[in-house]
């Protein structure tokens, strides 16, 4: 194979034997490529500017969603979506995938009715409740008294915890009772979550650290995890938890000081009622339908109702 054949096989460009012609070809190629480079640079600049404009628009939408007061449904969707995106790892630590979806609906309604302060009250409840559920989770699992799925809650638990709160939020958003009744809806909402947090903390801390547990009906000693059983450690922890959440709601101006005190008292009375139901009816013949989630709904409904009754009694 000669040199010409080898160059042909390798598809090399033909050798330029005349220097003047070579220079003109190179100059022609260089000058013809410059407009293409400029067009490419221009397109890139336009694309960057368009992306920056889109980012500015998105930031303005988020700023509007967080600042609108009272919040519209659109603002609530955006603000709640941003918070859920930022807090997604924490949400997945305590909720199943369907649980996250249902929690978004709950958060959406809470933001629409009570703004960011209302959602923050629910977020505090979730963080403290999830943390307590994870305390000594291996020990609880070994004893057979842990929550299912390593403590991750599903849709039933979301609504077992938030049903009374969302009823209050929908009533407030719909204007039921007018502006004069709005403080009562806020009070009942805070009382429902104070009740549920107290119940969750007392149960989970009692399972983890309770030395002696007593059946609430006759105070006989029973194993940890028994429905309707209470412990000194768990009860004290539940009381502290309700005080913390009611204090947070007071600092966020969801309730006044007397309202915070009412939330604490209501939560403790409602939790005694819940323990009594667990000891006397839950799981008994004829009451198989009365499972833990339904008892939770009755518990928080009792806490919210008691708070309204107490407030009306002292007004």
Q: How far is 146 from 294, CA to CA, in rounded Å?
A: 18
Predicted confidence (pLDDT) per residue in 259-270, tens digit: 999 999 999 999
Q: What angle do CA 232, 123, 128 make, to 5 degrees?
A: 25
- Per-residue DSSP letters for 221-246? EE-TT-TTEEEHHHHHHHHHHHHHHH
Task: Name the residue among 259, 297, 248 with its Cα closest to residue 120.
Answer: 248
pLDDT for the residue 124: 97
Give the pLDDT confidence of 29-67 residue by residue, as tens digits.
555 555 555 666 666 676 778 788 888 999 999 999 999
- Whether the pLDDT of residue 7 is over 50: the answer is no
pLDDT in tens, 74-91: 999 999 999 999 999 999
Q: Name, of 39-43, 175-179, 287-291, the range with top average pLDDT.
A: 175-179
pLDDT in tens, 194-252: 999 999 999 999 999 999 999 999 999 999 888 899 999 999 999 999 999 999 999 99
Phi, psi of 309 (to 5 degrees): -65, -45
pTM for the full model? 0.83
- Res. 96: pLDDT tops 70: yes
- Higher pLDDT: 226 or 8? It is 226
97/103 Cα distance (integer angstroms): 10
């Amino acid at each position: 194979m000669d040199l010409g054949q080898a160059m042909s096989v390798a598809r090399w460009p033909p050798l330029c034997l005349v220097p003047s012609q070579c220079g003109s070809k190179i100059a022609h190629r260089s000058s013809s490529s410059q407009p293409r480079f400029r067009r490419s640079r221009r397109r890139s600049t336009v694309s960057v500017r368009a992306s920056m404009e889109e980012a500015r628009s998105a930031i303005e939408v988020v700023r509007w969603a967080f600042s609108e007061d009272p919040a519209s449904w659109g603002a609530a969707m955006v603000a709640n979506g941003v918070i859920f995106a930022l807090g997604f790892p924490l949400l997945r630590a305590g909720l199943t995938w369907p649980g996250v979806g249902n929690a978004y609906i709950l958060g959406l309604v809470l933001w629409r009715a009570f703004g960011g302060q209302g959602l923050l009250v629910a977020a505090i409840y979730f963080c403290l409740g999830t943390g307590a559920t994870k305390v000594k989770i291996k020990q609880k699992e070994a004893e057979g008294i842990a929550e299912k799925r390593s403590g991750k809650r599903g849709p039933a638990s979301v609504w077992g915890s938030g049903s009374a709160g969302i009823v209050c939020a929908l009533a407030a958003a719909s204007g039921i009772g007018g502006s004069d009744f709005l403080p009562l809806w806020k009070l009942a909402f805070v009382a429902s979550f104070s009740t549920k947090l107290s119940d969750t903390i007392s149960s989970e801390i009692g399972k983890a650290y309770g030395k002696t547990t007593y059946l609430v009906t006759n105070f006989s000693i029973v194993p940890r995890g028994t429905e309707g059983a209470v412990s000194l450690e768990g009860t004290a922890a539940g009381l502290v938890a309700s005080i913390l959440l009611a204090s947070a709601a007071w600092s966020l101006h969801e309730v006044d000081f007397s309202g915070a005190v009412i939330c604490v008292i209501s939560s403790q009375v409602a939790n005694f009622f819940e323990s009594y139901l667990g000891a006397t009816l839950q799981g008994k013949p004829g009451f198989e339908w009365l499972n833990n989630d339904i008892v939770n709904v009755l518990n928080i409904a009792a806490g919210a109702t008691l708070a309204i009754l107490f407030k009306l009694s002292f007004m």
